[in-house]
Amino acid sequence: MCGIIGVTGADVPLDVLLGGLRLLEYRGYDSAGVALVALPGDDGSTASLWRRRSAVRAQSIAELESSREAAPRARTGIGHTRWATHGAATEANAHPHTDCSGEVAVVHNGIIENHRKLAARLVAAGHLLASETDSEVVAHLVEDELALGAGLAEAARRVAGELQGDFAIAVAYAREPETLAAVRRTSPLIVGRTGTLGVVASDIAAVLGTTRDLYALGDDQVAEVRPGSLSVSDLAGNPVDPRPVRVSWGVRAAQREGYEDFMSKEIHEQPRALTDTLLGRLHPDGATEFEELSLGEEVLGAIDRVLVVGCGSSYHASQVGRLAIERWAKLPATAEIASEFRYEDPVLDGRSLVIAVSQSGETADTYHALREARRRGATTLAVTNVVDSLMAREADGVLYTRAGPEIGVASTKCHVSQLVLLQAFALHLARLRSTLDADEASRLATGLAALPELVARALGKSEQYGAVAARIVEANDVFFLGRNVGYTIAQEGALKLKELAYVRAEAYAAGEMKHGPISLIDRNAVALVVVTRGALLEKLLANVEELRARGATVLALADEGDKETSALADLVLEVPPTEELLSPAVAVVPLQLLAYQIARTRGNDVDRPRNLAKVVTVE
Ligand code: AGP
């Protein structure tokens, strides 16, 4: 997720751009850049573009600030703060990107799915691409349309019609120094004005200090923004009335886009994070495509065992990945706690694939486990949310979740993105090893592709989950039980309740209770049983009976319409049904919301829970 901003009609556009980028930094901070349309000089020189970019992560905007003195007279400009998805976090990949003439500048948030085909066509036509990004193709496509005589807004309309994927784009053009063009599909884009200015931004936070006369562009709508005026059309050029945005927030709330805190915002961003993570990688027939993987079929085809390594929520995702790899790719696979793995003297070789799963890509335990695996000759793969992170650089191959920056310390949208990315990779291995037939692969791909919608439906039940939270808010000791896939869900649910609500919550394999822990069950006990409707259903229902027989309050997480479980449990958290092995991404939603609601009731800081850090860089 990146942040874009544009302004026209400003006496000092750089002020508006840099101030807005500061307020967009929470959307990504790998790099930042600005481009100004320098006004014609007194010496008769024509208008031109002036661009500055910086890729020093959180210092990038500060570095741009230092170039103020060199800025030309201008009234129009665009800016960008980047969360890398395609291409390393380097200055060459930083936005704004320009065309060959250097007269067109573009900033983009989203993923252009057909960028490689477009780039090949542009290069064949003689364009020189200067970056590894998908976004740069837009500048060159606009250049071609302008060369055909289109104005900036018309050029933007024509180019938008060629793009596939999600995008929010702002374009500046040296020969139209008082105009910006903006176009969006799925990625958010706001346009606005005052009597003398026109603005474009990814979200309200960036321009709230400039104007509240704001409008949200709809899909495939193009805005022509000029000082004090803006006109919106569809891709055919038909005028459209944009939707006004009513703003009752302050800036901080605007960064949370109206949510109380980043935790609830990120829980609700999960459908989008899943969509972005799967975009362009999974096809309906089960075929998979990972352009950044760099582990070829020969290497992957020789793998004879897989070890999936992580910490915390990433370890829980690792367990699901391990189950999918074993079940679909028929490869021996284990999930390993990183801090244990590296001291277990693991026997590895080049046919061992060690997958390091890490949102930050910087966790010390996981990073050292990865290094130990490499030292012992294993083939390594990093699954991470941060392009160019330590692990991304260290591993032989990398796969990126595309959840955007996760600000809340407790992992939610990154965790579910890890789940689906690991499952898509398991599908990739299965296809390589021909261990799934075409129908099975297609069925699983369809199931994966349906997860964003199912997660959105589960989020729609947050009222129901809140009612359950109210019933157990006083509990100080909760058992989370499940079997097989359900046990991985139980572990993540227990962790969320611990780290957000500070409740002692322990996850057990439900079959283990009778081997000791059931001695703890009495009338004060609260147990949450993850009732996945697979082959183990009867055993899970028997576990529920055992708990009830000893007086425990039993909550059940169950599929919608599961009457058997509802008849037995005291309270039910219903989730939309899906294939059992795909269910963790959906089943974890009520558990996140349960922990969140209880934490809020207890007055906890849900974005920064006590004693925790977002990245644990110590062992
Ligand atoms: C998850 O909610 C926790 N914040 C924590 O367990 C986290 O998953 C763990 O520290 C691993 O972090 P990583 O994914 O950045 O490696």
Please state, in angstroms and rounded to a whole number, the distance separating the CA atoms of residues 225 and 227. 7
- Whether 614 sits among the annotated catalytic residues: the reply is yes
Number of alpha carbons in the 13 Å side-chain half-sphere of residue 402: 23
Q: What angle do helix axes 451-459 and 270-278 make, rounded to 10 degrees?
A: 180
Looking at the CA of residue 410, tell me the nearest atom of ligand 1.
2
**pLDDT for 456-490, tens place per residue?**
999 999 988 888 898 788 888 899 999 999 999 99
Residue 311 alpha carbon to ligand 1 centre in Å: 6
Integer-rounded Cα Rg, in Å, for the chain is: 26
Listed in sequence order, the residues at least 6 apart from 397 whose beta carbon sits closer than 8 Å to its beta carbon are: 293, 294, 295, 379, 380, 381, 382
Residue 502 alpha carbon to ligand 1 centre in Å: 16
Q: Which residues line ligand 1 (CB under 6 A)?
A: 311-314, 358-360, 363, 366, 409-411, 499, 615-616
Nearest CA to ligand 1 atom 9: 312
**What is the DSSP secondary structure assignment for residue 343, as one 8-state letter?**
T
Residue 411 alpha carbon to ligand 1 centre in Å: 6
Position with higher pLDDT, 245 vs 181: 181
**What is the DSSP secondary structure assignment for residue 288, as one 8-state letter?**
B
**pLDDT for 547-589, tens place per residue?**
999 999 999 999 999 999 999 999 999 999 999 999 999 999 9
CATH topology of domain 254-449: Rossmann fold (3.40.50)
What size, in residues, is the chain?
Answer: 619
- Rounded to the nearest 5 percent, the helix, strand and coil shares of the chain are 40, 25, 35
Q: What is the pTM of this model?
A: 0.81
Please state, in angstroms and rounded to a whole number, the distance separating the CA atoms of residues 544 and 510. 9
| Probe residue for ligand 1, chosen from 270, 308, 309, 313 as the CB with the greatest number of ligand atoms within 8 Å | 313
Listed in sequence order, the residues at least 6 apart from 387 whose beta carbon sits closer than 8 Å to its beta carbon are: 30, 84, 85, 87, 88, 89, 400
Structure tokens at 595: 């922990």
Confidence at residue 483, expressed as pLDDT on a 0 to 100 scale:
95
Looking at the CA of residue 418, tell me the nearest atom of ligand 1.
14
From the list 100, 330, 461, 614, the catalytic residue is 614
**pLDDT for 293-346, tens place per residue?**
989 999 999 999 999 999 999 999 999 999 999 999 999 999 999 999 999 999
Residue 43 has pLDDT above 80, yes or no: no
Nearest CA to ligand 1 atom 16: 358
CB atoms within 10 A of CB 65: 13
Residue 596 alpha carbon to ligand 1 centre in Å: 17
Same fold: 3-247 with 254-449? no
Structure tokens at 554: 């039993």
Residue 598 has pLDDT above 90, yes or no: yes
Nearest CA to ligand 1 atom 11: 311
Residue 26 has pLDDT above 80, yes or no: no
- What single letter denotes the amino acid at residue 523? R
CB atoms within 10 A of CB 248: 7
The second-level CATH assignment, the architecture, of 3-247 is: 4-Layer Sandwich (3.60)
Print burial letters for 526-559: b (CB count within 10 Å at least 16), e (below 16). bbbbbbbbeebbeebbebbebbbeeebbbbbbbb
Confidence at residue 249, expressed as pLDDT on a 0 to 100 scale:
67
Please state, in angstroms and rounded to a whole number, the distance separating the CA atoms of residues 532 and 575. 10
Residue 388 alpha carbon to ligand 1 centre in Å: 18
Sign of CA dihedral 291, 295, 300, 303: negative
CB atoms within 10 A of CB 76: 28
Nearest CA to ligand 1 atom 4: 410
Residue 522 has pLDDT above 70, yes or no: yes
CATH class for domain 459-601? alpha beta
- Judge contact between 35 and 99, C-beta under 8 A: no
Looking at the CA of residue 411, tell me the nearest atom of ligand 1.
2
Confidence at residue 200, expressed as pLDDT on a 0 to 100 scale:
98
User: Cα angle vertex 234, ends 231, 237, to 5°?
Assistant: 75
Confidence of residue 533 (pLDDT cuts 50, 70, 90): confident
Listed in sequence order, the residues at least 6 apart from 276 whose beta carbon sits closer than 8 Å to its beta carbon are: 85, 111, 166, 402, 403, 404, 417
- Judge contact between 76 and 107, C-beta under 8 A: no
Please state, in angstroms and rounded to a whole number, the distance separating the CA atoms of residues 612 and 410. 9
Q: Is the peptide bond before 584 cis (omega within 30 degrees of 0)?
A: no
| Residue keyed to tokens 């990945």 | 321
- Residue 331 CA from chain centroid, whole number: 28
Confidence at residue 616, expressed as pLDDT on a 0 to 100 scale:
78
Looking at the CA of residue 366, tell me the nearest atom of ligand 1.
16
**pLDDT for 161-189, tens place per residue?**
999 998 999 999 999 999 999 999 988 89
- Judge contact between 81 and 32, C-beta under 8 A: yes
Residue 392, classed as helix, strand or coil, is helix
**pLDDT for 381-412, tens place per residue?**
999 998 878 899 899 999 999 998 888 999 99
Q: Where are the domains of the chain?
A: 3-247, 254-449, 459-601
